[in-house]
Amino acid sequence: MNPVDLDKHPSFALLKELAQAPFNFASSRVVAADRIKKYVSSMAGFDLLYSTQRIDDDVLDALQALADECRVTEQFKTMKSGAVMNRIEGFDSENRQVLHTATRDVFSDSPAEPNAAGQAVKELQKLRLFLADLQSGAIVNKNGEAFTDMVQVGIGGSDLGPRALYHALSAFKISGRRVHFISNVDPDDAASVLKGLDLSRTLVNVVSKSGSTLETLTNEELVREAYKREGLEPQQHFVAVTGEGSPMDNPESYLRSFYMFDYIGGRYSATSMVGGVMLGFALGYQGVEDILRGAAEVDAAAEEKDIRKNIPLLMALLGVWNHNFLNCETVAVLPYSQGLIRFTAHLQQCDMESNGKSINRQGADLSYQSGPIVWGEPGTNGQHAFYQLIHQGTTVIPVEFIGFRKSQYDNDILIKETSSQEKLLANLLAQSLALATGQEHENPNKRFPGNRPNSVLMADRLTPGSMGALLALYEAKIAFQGFLWNINSFDQEGVQLGKKLANQLLDHFAARRKDNTYDGNVPDGSGWALLQASGALKR
């Protein structure tokens, strides 16, 4: 398989031509009923309503051809089978497998990569025993009391995905258990989380693959000091999720250790032990298994070649249509579910760290746009904030709405003959129609241009199973888009330069603390000059 750039495929020119006159909702200011029924795709408990995208059958056929020419589903299956996909040909790179799907493949009779699936099974068995010990009272604090809280210490993929899933599924957590998160190296983050916690009944889950992540190690030491001040032994409260053999793989410092592996990137790690330990504590082992089963169903269904039957592939192609052919630079992900309050924040990392690349997999500069800017907040709050720009601004912003037919808690009442959930759904669907059709009006201030592309992803209810499926839908969508753009979606060199320069500035801080006469006299004094100008050296 020799992937080539997006614009080298025969269908690219056809799509460019079709983009000169895309489907026009403004001509009728209505979405026809037969069109709404026609453009629906269903998979793994989700329905994608995409009649409000600026597409027709000709565009869909051309997008199908593009997917076939790029062999995206073949690349997806190759990824799942354990091929080295995290690489740049001819250049120094990570050269790793990409096997986040193996954490869910444990439920398959014939996993795509048996070794990785076997490792996932071992970690799940360790998790099951750990949770059973917590439940039975085999693991308690020094006073014989059960643990009620867990603090997850991590950053990036060790925080965003797990945090998003915890908030999404807090309706299903075990009574009397809570989870908290510390990620920012800002000491106020740790202080605000620890304030008010009964540390004697709190576990701390420290997550770092290398065991050397600066922010995580700093926060871990802050938390350890808090335990020592309370007269508590940290080793009896701390667990670790790390790479086997890392500095954190140490029974003298941690109650239990769980392993994460190099073939799972941080932003794709929520269904590994990175999220599993915390979610197991909050939801119980069955909740973790339900998440994995939901994700596994999508992983299998995403191998379908027909884009009309493959939701993540269809979403990927619609995104490419909007981004590369209709020239829309951002995409708003707007969940109409308060449980998904942190899901878009997770997608910002998962998508933008994956596909924010400017070279292809052969190391050459791209001649077209790669990943879009991803942003958003839950509805209906956003309607009273940024929707004004989406509807009437000069920038066209495609929208991916996410909704559920039923609420999580089923705690609702009728007001004016409709429930709150019905009001939520009415707002979601109304926004979708309004963005597409717009409104003519003699008063220009009340005129809505329409033709704002959007789609609606719907499921029955936000549960552990549907959350796992939703997570996998977006992970597959992101991977598919990377294959289409011929970029490496699985490294993140863009974060390294800032880390390097931050360490240089920290060296200045440390040198100044040792010697007040230190003047930063180094060949490149820009860092020192910036520290002086910012006033950060003042104490």
Rounded Cα–Cα distance for residues 311 and 169 (Å): 23
Q: How does strand 418-419 pair with strand 399-404?
A: unpaired
Which residues, 6+ apart, have CB-to-CB distance to 242 below 8 Å?
Answer: 206, 207, 208, 209, 210, 211, 248, 249, 257, 258, 259, 260
Rounded Cα–Cα distance for residues 79 and 3 (Å): 14
Segments of 282-338 assigned E as strands: 330-335
Q: For every residue of 50-117, which 3-state class applies, written as one string? A: CCCCCCCHHHHHHHHHHHHHHCHHHHHHHHHCCCEEECCCCCCCCCEECCHHHHCHHHCCCCCCHHHH
Rounded Cα–Cα distance for residues 445 and 48 (Å): 33
Evaluated on CA atoms 460, 463, 467, 473, the torsion sign reads: negative
Rounded Cα–Cα distance for residues 453 and 462 (Å): 25
Rounded Cα–Cα distance for residues 103 and 121 (Å): 8
Rounded Cα–Cα distance for residues 270 and 279 (Å): 10
Torsion from C-alpha of 432, 400, 462, 296, nearest 10 degrees: 140
Structure tokens at 427: 């707002």
Q: Left (φ > 0), alpha (ψ -120 to 50) or beta: where does 245 sit?
A: left
Give the residue among 142, 136, 143, 104 at the shortest CA–CA distance from 120: 104
The catalytic residues are: 353, 384, 499
How open is the CA angle 43-48-53, to the nearest 5 degrees?
145
Structure tokens at 182: 């510390």
Max Cα-Cα span within the chain: 77
Q: How far is CA 289 from CA 117, 148, 285, 430, in A?
A: 14, 22, 6, 36
Structure tokens at 378: 């839950």
Give the residue among 380, 374, 375, 294 at the shortest CA–CA distance from 337: 380
Contact between 148 and 278 (Cβ < 8 Å): no
Which residues, 6+ apart, have CB-to-CB distance to 432 below 8 Å?
Answer: 49, 52, 399, 401, 454, 455, 456
